[in-house]
A and B are shown apart, each in its own frame.
Chain A
């Protein structure tokens, strides 16, 4: 149900820059809608980045990450053509996994 992520992985010298944009409402559970009812919390809880089949980043996320989260990471040791897999799971069990290739 969630929109595909936008993933960019680019070599800058020997460093690979990975940027991810996830499409997610990231409701905190504190906001009220127009009728005054509390909007239930709905947010990404964990995310991971795998490059070339190896886990590079393992992240845990709370409610205070912005709507449509953007994360940037850097790594060494990757090369052009390596597969980048980014996954997330939210507090309702929704999940999404998208792939990109290091350019």
Chain B
């Protein structure tokens, strides 16, 4: 992530400066509010690359991080995933599917009273380990479980 740019955006109280940036096509207005999409991490082709992209490196396994996925998914296009982190000070949760063409599925940052808990529906191309990675107090933790997929959801 381009931290300099973020700082500039956050500090840009002079709307003129901001308008100039938008006008120049340097940024889209919608991205001022939302976090910038982590292209490197999402486009990584392997789990190690995706983990590196979100700054996780090699996370430590934790039993306080609960990953709920089905043992067998009949339809890889819709696999329900629930992640609950009981690790104190969890600030973000990421979901990865190891054998998907792009393993990083989603990443959520929590603030202002949000509990470290997320449920989502993901696509899986084939039988694979699903990983949940939680960031708590600057450290990364992982929980993983294999989901058997009978019909893939990536190639269609």
Contacts and interface: CB of A to CB of B under 8 A. Distances in A.
Interface of A: 15, 26, 28, 30-32, 45-49, 51, 54-67, 69-78, 87, 89, 93, 95
Interface of B: 28, 30-31, 33-35, 37-38, 42, 77-79, 82, 97, 100-115, 117-124, 153-156
Given A45-B37, A74-B117, A59 B107 contact: yes
Given A59-B108, A62-B42, A89-B31, A69 B120 contact: yes
Contacts, number: 129
B38 A70 contact: no
Given A64-B122, A66-B77, A76 B106 contact: no
Nearest to A71: B120
23 contacts: A26-B123, A28-B101, A30-B156, A45-B37, A46-B35, A48-B33, A48-B34, A54-B111, A55-B111, A56-B110, A56-B111, A57-B110, A58-B35, A60-B38, A60-B107, A63-B102, A64-B97, A64-B154, A66-B122, A67-B77, A71-B119, A89-B31, A93-B30
A20 B106 CA distance: 15
B155 A31 contact: yes
The 10 closest A-B pairs by CB, nearest first: A77-B113, A72-B119, A31-B156, A66-B121, A46-B34, A54-B112, A62-B42, A58-B109, A74-B115, A59-B108
Given A32-B155, A54-B112, 13 more contacts: A26-B123, A30-B154, A32-B156, A56-B110, A56-B114, A59-B108, A60-B42, A63-B42, A65-B120, A67-B78, A70-B119, A74-B115, A93-B30
Nearest to A76: B113
